[in-house]
Amino acid sequence: MPTPHFIATPRLTLRPFRAADLAPYAAINADPEVMRYLGGPIEAKETARQMQAANAGWTARTIGKIAIERTADGMFLGMCGLSIEDWYPDDLELGWRLAPAFWGHGYATEAARAWLAHAFDDLAAPRVISIADIPNRRSIAVMARIGMRFDHAARLKADTEIFDAEIHAVTAATHRAHEPR
């Protein structure tokens, strides 16, 4: 099956990163408030590496935390997508990151729902997880809105930082039974 060019929702286009996305995505990744629960700000060089890895994952397997674009005006909002994390190599992990100007508009929820549909309908994943630092209530609220439920708590290590996390999950069957019509 050929790799689709993008995933569309009513308001968003989820697509591979473009060169023009580097500056706005680097600004998101340099923002201390955005990166508060993600290990702190990162430099543009690491952002470029993440973009390249996401695009490679999209090309190879149609997974990857790729760009979110507002379809109406082409505005770059951030990223959302699926990855396989070292902590849970048997699960697809769903994550998102948006510029603060776009928080509270339902964009993360809309993008995450589209990714769940892709995971279950196109990739036949049995379940999808999402990981959040316990104080990150905004992300945990998105998890609840997309039908994920608390699975377990864990102490995880990212580079040299250890943090307490909540892992939320949703199975294909639960997603299909509760997905908005």
pTM (predicted TM-score): 0.94
Per-residue pLDDT tens over the stretch 127-142: 999 999 999 999 999 9
> Which amino acid does the sequence have at 133?
D
Residue 122 has pLDDT above 70, yes or no: yes
The pLDDT assigned to 176 comes to 82
Q: Are 117 and 123 in contact (CB under 8 A)?
A: no
The pLDDT assigned to 2 comes to 53
In the chain, what are the domain boundaries?
7-178
Q: Are 165 and 134 in contact (CB under 8 A)?
A: yes
Residue 181 has pLDDT above 80, yes or no: no
Residue 4 has pLDDT above 70, yes or no: no
Judge residue 24's burial from the number of C-beta atoms within 10 Å of its C-beta, 0-12 exposed, 13-18 middle, 19 or more buried. middle
Contacts 24+ apart (CB under 8 A), 6-10: 7/114, 7/115, 7/118, 8/71, 8/114, 9/110, 9/111, 9/113, 9/114, 10/110
Q: Which CATH superfamily is domain 7-178 in?
A: Gcn5-related N-acetyltransferase (GNAT) (3.40.630.30)
Q: Are 140 and 167 in contact (CB under 8 A)?
A: no
Give the closest residue to 96 by CA, choosing from 151, 34, 157.
Answer: 34
Mean pLDDT lowest among 70-79, 80-89, 131-140, 157-166: 157-166
